[in-house]
Amino acid sequence: MDVADIPGVPDWLPDYLRADGIESLYPPQAEAVTAGVTEGENLVASVPTASGKTLVAELAMLSHVGEGSGTALYIVPLRALASEKAAEFEAFESYGVDVGVSTGNYESSGEWLSDSDIVVATSEKVDSLVRNDAAWIDDLSCVVTDEVHLVDDGERGPTLEVTLAKLRQLNPGLQTVALSATIGNADELADWLDAELVDSEWRPIELRKGVHYGQALHLEDGSQQELRVHDGESETAAVVRDTLADDGSTLVFVNSRRNAEAAARRLATTTRDALDEEERTRLAEVAADIRDVSDTETSEDLADAVADGAAFHHAGLAADHRSLVEDAFRDRLIKTVCATPTLAAGVNTPSRRVVVRDWRRYDGSTGGMAPLSVLEVHQMMGRAGRPGLDPYGEAVLLANNHDELDELFERYVWADPEPVRSKLAAEPALRTHLLATVASGFASSRGGLLEFLERTLYAAQTAERDRLEGVTDDVLTYLERNEFLTREAQSASERSSDGDQLQATGLGHTVSRLYLDPMSAAEIIDGLRDADDRPSALGLYHLVARTPDMYELYLRSGDDEEYTMLAYEREEDFLGAMLSEFEEGRFEDWLAALKTARLLEDWASEIEEDEITDRYGVGPGDIRGKVETAQWLLGAAESLAGELGLDCVPAIREARTRVEHGVRAELVDLAGVRGVGRKRARRLYDAGIRTRADLREADKAVVLGALRGREKTAENVLENAGRQDPSMDGIDPADVAGVEDTAAGSDAAEGPAGTADSEDQSSLGDF
């Protein structure tokens, strides 16, 4: 289909597409247009990676923008993917299309987004917007959900599922477009969403799947090609070397962060010999940028690998680390990236070859290694082949023996992806979503609640209504017992009938608005009621660390004894009774929360980032994730304490501010000035400037000296502190004891992973 023949889109779009090199649509895109995607029809598109799903979404959204009929919403699973997609859509702004992106601050209604034509947001953010009664949600005319197969994910799937059900109930005429990788039951998703289905295997370039064994690559069509492994060389290194000989890049998927880092170090010895002088120079610049992100061993190891043309990629990296790696890989500077499976979840990093080195990973539910799903492996394989750059893509699994060669063909190469299944009926998911459904007015009775649940994928996929009703009643009992909602029946004998009227209490509304798991709220409330007026920072950090909303650090070998001793030393700090050592499983979880709290306390005590990463065996991204989650949970604790009329609000606020900025108590006021951060605050404090009020009156020469002679930084800090005359023109920096000169120091690590000057986007962290 020629782009000029696309109906229902703005007049400028065909010329825009031609300027981007698109004269005609790919077959799946043409099928979507024929199915009515630009004319308001619901659509499920189940097509392979790199087959043009994003353009299908753009056609749908722009058809509404062109009509001026309302706002289009694009839902993504990851914050990183939200930024990437928003950057793509911002190309339309020169045509008068306003694009907004929102991923954090779950207490906000995001009213500033009401003027946007296209809004990009994570499913959690959209859910929070509905809970906070964002008025512009009622004006939605189109919603696109990317990676909709993630409804199968036990953590995030229920939120996406319930959010789509709510949006469709709020907006009966809403066009719903769902984009998915190839899955086994796309027809079920289409039935659930009352949608047309485009189910295609077409790709713009050929994808060859196979297994390497011995000295050859065995392909799915039965052919073989020689790919020799040299003496002392791993299979992975052999594939990377062979790909480099054809001027290609390689993505290597492994099953853990440690393996990703180790593999990148080893493969750097393979990639460095393939670099020319220009590439070495440019990679040295990227490596320097990586070192500037944070002063940690992880940052140093990554920079060393990148300088040699290799990299690792996992959730323990800072966001800026990941962005630098992705950009350099797309620019073909980095030749190989060793990644954990999260990279396959949507971020645009295609390569000539993909190697799935590890097809098993640790499964905590079984206590051992378990095979990855076919869908996960196919998602990884789909990253092979860069349209316009590669003549083909190859996806390779590695076999250790002939039996495994046969197994991998049967299990993954020739297999169809599994059907996706709703995970909504699990009690933890229903706890959160049932309270929110009542609090936001979607249901006011037990019968109404069950009627709403009939709109979900779970109801469409199962005939087990008794199970759903049973779990629902258990959750309602829990919510009522914890005073989050009230249930009233016409008589005691009708208590469990459909006539029960449901109403969220004031506390329940607060919990829903704060986006808390009700069990987290109950834990926090119980702890705060047990607290005195000035609970310690450690006590508060431990309280939020033991909630279901905080991912605790693992206990390593020897940690049990260390943290048990710490628990007895700091027993007076804890909010609520200390658990007994004889409650083995629960006590270990309690100690894991203590380890997490101690990390937060160290950060809020100005311990250096590299020392924290070494002490706890984490990466800079992990610190950022724990800090952001603690900020959010302590903010929620502050709101709950206010709702309950407790006297500990100031102590909670101080603990939250300390962990936000990574400072001791005396720096709280200074660190709160935008642009200051933990290290600058300490230097200003040591120079005798103790508060923001002091900043407004301080000798400019002293301020400039404390800020290492950085005039622009000093001007911004003074302006943000409210100084009337922030200019540093003609000011020479004073000598300030302990402060290095401009050339000698760096402010790179002002916040976790160098984020002190970035806008706060507190959230639950990355998927």
Of 77-81, 534-538, 747-751, which range is least confident? Answer: 747-751
Domain boundaries, the chain: 3-199, 206-413, 427-513, 518-662, 664-750
Residues 194, 188 contacting (CB under 8 angstroms): no
Quick: pLDDT tens for 378-423.
989 988 987 777 888 999 999 999 999 999 999 999 999 999 999 9
pLDDT value for 154: 87
Alpha-carbon gap, residue 459 to 453, rounded angstroms: 7
Quick: pLDDT tens for 493-504.
555 455 689 999
- Quick one: CATH architecture of 664-750? Orthogonal Bundle (1.10)
Q: Given a cut of 90, is residue 200 above it in pLDDT?
A: yes
Coil, strand or helix at 347: coil
- Return the CATH class of domain 3-199: alpha beta
Residues 717, 677 contacting (CB under 8 angstroms): no
Q: Mean pLDDT of all residues in the chain?
A: 89
CATH of 518-662, one of 3.10.129.10, 3.90.550.10, 3.30.300.20, 1.10.3380.30: 1.10.3380.30
Fold match between 427-513 and 664-750? no
Q: What is the CATH number of domain 206-413?
A: 3.40.50.300
The 3-class secondary structure across 245-307, one letter per residue, is HCCCCEEEECCCHHHHHHHHHHHHHHHHHHCCHHHHHHHHHHHHHHHHHCCCHHHHHHHHHHH
Alpha-carbon gap, residue 633 to 655, rounded angstroms: 11
Residues 310, 334 contacting (CB under 8 angstroms): yes
- Return the CATH class of domain 427-513: mainly alpha
Alpha-carbon gap, residue 544 to 550, rounded angstroms: 7
Query: For the purposes of burial, counting CB atoms within 10 Å of the CB of 492, is it exposed (0-12), middle (13-18) or buried (19 or more)?
Result: exposed
Coil, strand or helix at 565: helix
Best mean pLDDT range from 207-211, 495-499, 574-578, 740-744:
207-211
Q: Given a cut of 50, is residue 743 above it in pLDDT?
A: no
Q: Given a cut of 80, is residue 552 above it in pLDDT?
A: yes
Quick: pLDDT tens for 39-89.
999 999 999 887 889 999 999 999 998 666 789 999 998 887 888 889 899
The answer to whether the Cα torsion of 571, 573, 577, 580 is positive or negative is: negative
Please list, residue by residue across 564-601, b when 16 or more beta carbons sit within 10 angstroms of its beta carbon and e when fewer do: eebbeebeebbbbeebeeeeeeebbebbbbbbbbbbbb
Quick: pLDDT tens for 313-344.
988 888 899 889 999 998 999 999 999 876 65
Residue among 46, 101, 49 nearest 73 (CA)? 101
pTM of the model: 0.86
pLDDT value for 753: 44
What confidence tier does 490 reach under pLDDT thresholds 50, 70, 90? low
Alpha-carbon gap, residue 716 to 727, rounded angstroms: 9
Of 31-45, 223-237, 726-740, which range is least confident? Answer: 726-740
| pLDDT mean over 165-170 | 94
DSSP label of 176:
E
pLDDT value for 491: 56
